[in-house]
Amino acid sequence: MKKLIALVGMLLLLVAGIAAADTYVRGYTRSDGTYVQPHYRSSPDSSYNNNWNVKPNTNPYTGERGTREPTLYDKPPSNNGYDNWYKQRR
C-alpha cells in the first residue's frame, strides 16, 4: 500500500512539473486585423527540438503531432537559468 501511495505521489509531481512548463498566451489581434485565439504553448527555451510542432512531439492540449523535422545539432533546453548562472561563475 505504501508503494502505491508513493507511486501516485511521484506521478502527480511529474504531471505538475510538465504542466508548469507551459505558458498561457492571451488572445490578441495581429496588425493585419486577424484575431488569434488564446492558447497554450511550450515555455520558451534555447532548444528548437523541444517544441510541440517538431516531430515526434505531440501537443498535449490538442493531440496534434508535430510536423516539422527536428534539427540534428540542436542546443539542449536550458535548465531554468541554472546553466547561464553556472557559466557566469566559471
- How far apart CA 7 and CA 37 sit, in angstroms, is 37
Task: Encode pLDDT of 36-80 as tens digits.
Answer: 999 988 888 888 888 888 999 998 888 999 999 998 888 776 655
C-beta separation of 27 from 48 below 8 A: no
- What integer best gives the mean pLDDT of the chain? 77
- The b/e string for 5-21 (b: 16+ C-beta within 10 A; e otherwise) is eeeeeeeeeeeeeeeee
Question: Could you tell me the pLDDT band of residue 27, with boundaries at 50, 70 and 90?
Answer: very high
pLDDT at position 78 = 60
